[in-house]
Structure 1
Amino acid sequence: MPELPEMENYRRLLTPRMVGKRITRVTVTREKSVNVDAAAFVDRVAGRTVTDITRRAKHLLFHLDGDQALLLHLMLGGVLFWGTEQEKPERTVQVELQLGEASLHFIGLRLGYLHLYPTAEVDDVLAKLGPEPMSPSFGEADFRLALGRRRGYLKPVLVDQGVLSGIGNCYSDEICFDAGILPQTKLENLQEADWSRLYRSMRSTLAEAIAHGGYMDLPLFKGDALTGGFDARCRVYDREGEPCVRCGALIQRVDFASKKSYSCPGCQR
């Protein structure tokens, strides 16, 4: 499932391609992917100009003139592709927004969605999300406060979108590895130094992942050499049985609290 770095990468790459341009055609092939009648969705979106693209947690917001916004959550299996009909991959497209000669194709929206809201309602829709972990105003003390009042294992709290927004399975494991702490550690067992390491690891891991385009395997457009670049840089996620880059011990997968988790038993405590 795309997480904060993947959606931030999409935002950065799509902004110069879409902002200021008019949506000339809208196609909906799966009505369940939108939140209003397909014909009404097409009527209300076609002809609008994209005024901005922002991100909140794992969501993208396509702001349209006329005080409307499209809220995207790709969920499991969803990806985006920008390009012409001839360039797009042989995948089923649930929604297509055409802007001149190129289109944004929403692919794999079986669990994901593209919902249309009046701009004034967006904050209410996203009100239950926790703070943004990369926000300049979200300091170490805020991090400790957000997680420290919870109980249980570290990983399930890191991926709880009501505690922190945007972190999922991949980056929670990578953050824990960078900090040298096992994901199945009980929060009440963390020491003061552990909290500091976790906060620094969260910021540095997410920043690195954003800089290298996240781990999505499908390029956003033809010639895109950035998207997916972090996949090869993952140290533990989906690396079961491979030697640890830090100590050489074999990476293990451990399932707990209904979560799969990858870690190194040699250098994570």
Structure 2
Amino acid sequence: MPELPEMETYKALLSTLIGGQKITNVVIGREKSINVPVDKFTMEVANQTVKTINRRAKYLIFQLQNGSCLLLHLMLGGWMFFGKEEDKPDRTIQVKLSFGDQHLFFIGLRLGYLHILSPEMVKEEFEKLGPEPINPQFTFNAFQQLMEKRKGAIKTALINQEVMAGIGNGYSDEILWHAELRPDKKIQEFDNQQLTRLYNSIQFILKRGINQGGYMDNPLYKGDGRTGGYQFFVHDREGEECSRCHAPIVKEEMSSRKTYFCPNCQH
């Protein structure tokens, strides 16, 4: 599932590709991927200019000229491709937004969605989300206060969107590996040094993910050299050598999630 670095990469690239551009046509291939009847969605979206594209947590918000917003959550398996009809992947397209002879294809939206909402409705959607971990206002003191209110395993807290927004299963493993902390360590057992290390690792891993274009395998457009440059340290690497201590990486299930870590140097 795309997480904060992937969605931040999409935001940056799409702002350049379609920011300020008019949506000339709309094609809906799967009605369940949108939240209103096809005719209504098309009427509200077609011929509208994309004013801005913003990210919140794992969402993208496309603000349209008429004030409406398109709220995108890719969920598991969702991705996008921008280009001409002849360049599109050989995959089922759930939604297509056209910009002249170029199109933004939404692919794999079986669990994900593209909803048209008012700004007020978008705000309601985000009410329960926690703070953005890479926001400059999210200082160590703010993080410390947040953790003081939590109990249980740190892995569970990191993927809880009401605690912090945007971190998912993949980057939580990476953060904990970088901080040299076990994913099942109880938050109440952390000393100040460990908490500081964790905060710094959150900043380092997420910013590294953004700088390297996230981990998505599929390019956003033909010739895209930015998307998918991030290589995991531990996530999805069961049995491989830890790059820090060379012990084998293990996989365990925690909070119903596959969790990868190095039992030797995460302690």
Task: Name structure 1 gaps, 5 residues minimum.
Answer: none
Task: State whether residues 156 and 259 of structure 1, in contact with CA within 8 Å, keep that contact through their aligned partners in structure 2.
Answer: no
Task: State whether residues 5 and 210 of structure 1, in contact with CA within 8 Å, keep that contact through their aligned partners in structure 2.
Answer: yes
Letter in 2 for 1:171: Y
Select which of 227, 234, 237 maps to 1:236.
234
Per-residue Cα deviation, 1:51-94 (whole angstroms, up to 9, x for no partner): 00000000000000111100000000000101111111111110
User: Equivalent residues in 2 for 1:185-224 (5 A)?
Assistant: 185-224=185-224
Per-residue Cα deviation, 1:30-54 (whole angstroms, up to 9, x for no partner): 1110010011101110010000000
d(CA) in 2 for partners of 1:226, 1:78: 18
d(CA) in 2 for partners of 1:256, 1:162: 18
Q: CA deviation at 1:19?
A: 1.0
SS of match in other structure, 1:89: coil
Aligned twin of 1:21: 21
Aligned twin of 1:257: 255
Task: State whether residues 73 and 114 of structure 1, in contact with CA within 8 Å, keep that contact through their aligned partners in structure 2.
Answer: yes
d(CA) in 2 for partners of 1:123, 1:199: 27
SS of match in other structure, 2:61: strand
Identity %: 49
Aligned twin of 2:119: 119
Letter in 2 for 1:160: N
Q: CA deviation at 1:257?
A: 2.4
Q: CA deviation at 1:256?
A: 2.1
Letter in 2 for 1:101: D
In the comparison of the two structures, how many residue pairs are matched?
A: 267
Letter in 2 for 1:268: Q
Task: State whether residues 58 and 165 of structure 1, in contact with CA within 8 Å, keep that contact through their aligned partners in structure 2.
Answer: yes
Aligned twin of 1:106: 106
SS of match in other structure, 2:86: coil
Aligned twin of 1:149: 149
Aligned twin of 2:38: 38
CA RMSD of aligned residues (A): 0.8
SS of match in other structure, 1:61: strand
The answer as to 2:138 corresponding to 1:138 is yes
TM-score normalised by L of structure 1: 0.98
User: Equivalent residues in 2 for 1:60-139 (5 A)?
Assistant: 60-139=60-139
d(CA) in 1 for partners of 2:88, 2:256: 36
d(CA) in 2 for partners of 1:258, 1:65: 42
d(CA) in 2 for partners of 1:139, 1:46: 41
